[in-house]
Amino acid sequence: MTAALDTLSDALAAESRHLAALLELLEEEGQVLRRGEAVSLAAITDRKEAWIRDRAALEDTRRQALSLVARALHIDLSAVTLTDLARREPAQAGRLLARRDELRRLTSRLSALVQHNGFLIERSLRYFRGFVSSLVGAVAHPATYTASGRHDVQAAAVGLIDRRG
Amino acid sequence: MSLFSGFEIGRKALAAHQAVLDTVGHNLANVATRGYARQRAELVAVAPRNGVEVAQIRRLRDRFLDVQLIQEGGGLGRAQAQVNLLQRLESIFTEDPEAGLGATLSRFFRAFQDLSVHPTDPALRVTVKEAGAQVAATFRDLRGGLDVLKADLVTEIESRVSAANGLVTEIAELNRRIVAARGGGLEPSDLLDRRDLLVAQLSEIAGVAASDNENGSVRVTIAGTGVRLLDGDLVSTLTVALDGSTNTVRLQVDDEVVAPQSGALAALVGARNSPTGPISQAASDLDALARSIIDEVNRLHASGAGLTGHATLTAANAVSSSTVALTAAGLPSSPLTGAFRIVVHDSAGSVASTVDVSVTAGVTTLEDVRSAIDADPNLTATISAGILTVSAASGMTYAFASDTSDTLLALGLNTFFTGTDALTIGESPLVAGDVAKIAAARVDSTGLVHRGDGENALALARLRTKPTLRGGTATFVDFLGTLVSRVGSEARDATQALDRQEAAVELVENLQQQTSGVSTDEELLTLTQAQHAYAAAARYISTLNDVIDSLFQITR
């Protein structure tokens, strides 16, 4: 049992470090959003994508460690919680509860940041869409039809050309 | 972080974002606005962890290039005015193959050629008279055109001065508004654009230099002179005055006389005032040509004889005093040392008497001449108001011959043309009133005049090919050709200079455009990229929520 709990504890520690990296990333994203730096935002999104890819391996490790614990305790995998494990294994309680509290702190902070950044992203995106559609509406050439009945697209008449060209 | 402060940060971020996008929209709306400098919203973080806000809407403009634009604008204004002026001058001298001066001169000398063959033909005499009148009228037209052009310059200078004063007033008003806006902590980018444009326009007129004051206003001076046109909202007035004593125009800023070194006014004032300017030079050359034709034709004509002799003849030119030497008596040309002859004929055409009048340059007076002529019993010479009149006795006529002293030319006796330059040239009343007086013949060695003699007409016709100008190296037509081609060449040179100046301005404008110009492609690309970045970021919100949810399970 102790070995299974050691494996689980190591997996959760690795996961905490990984979540802490995300936390830094989201804080950085918050600053970028506040400054409206679209290029930096795209770079952060790329880094989040890499974070998600790494995440899959960590989740597998955690699931395997939890399965070992569940089998040792003869309980269902979905019923395993760190609070319950600490109660069942008092000798390991200190270590398990420390892991639980660390994860709780990280997820709470991450949840707040995701919500906050999400709010800024969604509102900005909505404003962008409205702005761009207004612009396109203002500069778009009215639909015309040729003698063949086809839509005649006059690129030059759209007007949005670089005057320096 | 409290819920309220979280939303406050979010509100600031969105407001800042909106300002960025509004600036993009403003740039796009002004893509075709002349002088518009693109703007960029600059965001700054609000002290610790308090979000972001717009620090300023910065106007992207290179001040060094602005200074260059103002300087090159002065050169451009000058070159444009110069080209405009020279093209108008060129149009005056554009040779009409039928009515141009060259064609008119050719017809005039050809008419004498024809008359030399048939000197008694009255139709050919009328042709000579009309051709001579046409030469005089063409000279007067050309010279009048130059005077009109010069007069138009004054009007144009006044108009440019008025435009410059309007710009100065407008720039001063912009200065006042810019200073007020800066005082209120605003960056008045659009007002700055407008002011830069107006200063550049002012430079095209008056060639100015501009320097920035600390409060955001500009000080504008006439470049190269330091004379102030405006400083902040203090304006000076540019005025133009005509100086009657020197027949020049004078520009003044308040009470200070100023001579712009660039801008349209530099070209216009220079052309109006300079004696070596293109208009003055053309007028001077035209006068020289007219004077040479007048003198050469009159010199030969004065010593010739018409179909009928003179019963009485009055000189065209008056002396200032009949008792001072002819050379100092204010005549259009000075007599030389020499002599002329008057042959008196009776009613049958036989020689009745001959008088030779000797002239010594610097000595002989009109009174001496009168006295010498009056000594002949068949002639009476009188002087009235400085003008000599010679009359033959009743039933007699006289003719002039062999004037080696140019006295007849100087006095305007028996001459073809009157006047002294292109503006005053005219046909003499003698010729205009009686074509029989056109001196196609010469008095022969016996004193007789033969009706069929066309020797003098032939000599007059040969003037066409005689090199009489530029130290005896150029014929009338050569001289005219040089004048016309010089005007054309100056116009071409000015056009090339304008092309070069336009290229210089375009180069600086292009450099400024790289900083200030709005590229719709780039602005829209920026928008599209930003939209994509936000859309991509949005896709991870739910993914991250799933990650957090999965962890909630074990941390219960």
The pLDDT tens digits for B18-75 are 777 777 777 777 777 777 777 777 766 666 556 666 666 777 777 788 888 888 899 9
Q: How far is B217 from chain A (nearest CA, A)?
A: 30
Position B4 scores a pLDDT of 45
The 10s digit of each residue's pLDDT in B352-377 is 999 999 999 999 999 999 999 999 99
Q: Nearest CA to B414 among B441, B395, B375, B393?
A: B441
- Between chains, do B531 and A41 touch, taking CB under 8 Å as contact? no
Q: What mean pLDDT comes out for the span B80-86?
A: 91
The span from the CA of A36 to the CA of B17, in Å, is: 6
pLDDT score recorded for residue B420: 92
Percent with pLDDT over 90 in chain B: 53
Compute the distance between CA of residue B197 and CA of residue B208 in angstroms, rounded to an integer.
Answer: 13
Predicted local distance difference test score (pLDDT) of residue B436: 93
Euclidean distance between CA atoms B409 and B262, whole angstroms: 48
Q: Is A157 on the interface with B (CB under 8 A)?
A: no
Q: What does the pLDDT look like over B93-119, one tens digit per residue?
A: 877 777 788 889 999 999 999 999 999
A147 CA to chain B: closest CA distance, Å? 31
Confidence (pLDDT) at A31: 87
A29 touches chain B (CB under 8 A): yes
Model confidence at B176, in pLDDT bands (50, 70, 90)? Answer: very high
Q: In this complex, which of B518, B528, B536 lies closest to A45 when CB atoms are compared?
A: B536
A122 vs B95: which has the higher pLDDT: A122
Asked if A110 has any chain B CB less than 8 Å from its own CB, the reply is yes
Give ipTM to 2 decimals. Answer: 0.78
Facing residue for A41 by CB, picked from B534, B543, B552: B534
Among A111-115, B42-46, B72-76, B203-207, the least confident range: B42-46
What pLDDT score does B449 carry? 84
Contacts of B532 in chain A (CB under 8 A): 42
Least confident of A139-153, B235-249, B383-397: A139-153
Better-predicted residue by pLDDT, A113 or B8: A113
Residues in chain A: 165
CA distance readout (Å), B49 to A43, B3, B40? 22, 14, 24
What is the overall mean pLDDT for chain B? 87
pLDDT digits (tens, 9 = 90+) for A7-43: 999 999 999 999 999 999 999 998 888 877 888 888 9
* SS3 state of residue B253: strand
Interior angle at CA B341, CA B340 and CA B342, nearest 5:
135
Q: Give me A4's structure tokens.
A: 């299974």
Residue A39 resides in a domain? yes
Question: Domain containing A53 — which CATH number?
Answer: 1.20.58.300
Query: Residue B461 is which amino acid?
Result: A
Tens digit of each residue's pLDDT (9 = 90 or more) over B243-295 = 878 888 889 998 889 999 999 999 999 988 888 888 989 999 999 999 999 99
Model confidence at B2, pLDDT cuts 50, 70, 90, reads very low
Q: Do A127 and B16 touch (CB under 8 A)?
A: no
Q: Do B18 and A41 touch (CB under 8 A)?
A: no
Residue A116 lies in a domain: yes
| Interface membership of A45 toward B (CB under 8 Å) | yes
Structural domain that includes position A42: 2-121
Per-residue confidence (pLDDT) for residue B66, from 0 to 100: 83
Assess contact for A86 and A96: CB atoms under 8 A.
yes
**Is the predicted pLDDT of residue B81 greater than 80, yes or no?**
yes
| pLDDT reading at B166 higher than 80 | yes
Which residue of A81, A96, A108, A162 is the best one to mutate when testing the B interface, meaning the one whose CB has the most B CBs within 10 A? A162
Q: Is residue A22 part of a domain?
A: yes
- A-B C-beta contacts closer than 8 Å: 153
Confidence (pLDDT) at A148: 65
Question: Which of B34, B54, B534, B549 to substitute to test the interface with A, most A CBs within 10 Å?
Answer: B534
| Interface residue of A7, A61, A124, A131 to substitute, partner B, most B CBs within 10 Å | A124
- Identify the pLDDT of residue B1: 43
Average pLDDT over residues B141-154: 90
Residue A78: inside a domain: yes
Query: Over the stretch B114-139, which tens digit does the pLDDT of each residue have?
Result: 999 999 999 999 999 999 999 999 99
Q: Does A39 touch chain B (CB under 8 A)?
A: yes
Q: Which of A38, A52, A116 is facing B529, going by the closest CB pair?
A: A38
* HEC string for B68-125: HHHHHHHHHHHHHHHHHHHHHHHHHHCCCCCCCHHHHHHHHHHHHHHHHHCCCCHHHH
pLDDT of residue B527: 75
Determine contact: A97 vs chain B, CB below 8 A: no
The answer to whether residue A145 sits within a structural domain is: no
Residue A57 is assigned to a structural domain of this protein = yes
A18 touches chain B (CB under 8 A): no
Distances (CA, A) of B471 to A2, B62, B460, B467, B482: 126, 58, 20, 8, 15
Cα A85 from Cα A108, distance rounded (Å): 21
Which pLDDT value is given to residue B384? Answer: 93
Chain B residues near residue A103 by CB distance under 8 angstroms? 551, 554-555
A150 in a structural domain: no
Asked if the Cβ–Cβ distance from A124 to B544 is below 8 Å, we say no
pLDDT of residue B455: 93
**Taking 50 as the threshold, does the pLDDT of residue A162 lie above it?**
no
pLDDT at A152: 53
What are A58-109's pLDDT values in tens digits? 999 999 998 998 898 888 888 888 998 999 989 889 999 999 999 999 999 9
Q: Is residue A146 part of a domain?
A: no
Q: Which of A2-6, B15-19, B436-440 has the lowest mean pLDDT?
A: B15-19
**Count of structural domains within chain A:** 1
Q: What is the pLDDT of residues B486-502, one digit of tens each?
A: 888 888 899 999 999 88
Cβ contact A107–B552 (<8 Å): yes
CA atoms within 13 A on the CB side of B220: 33
Residue B355 parent element (H or E): strand B351-359
Q: Does A88 touch chain B (CB under 8 A)?
A: no
Of the pLDDT bands very low, low, confident and very high (cuts 50, 70, 90), residue B548 is confident
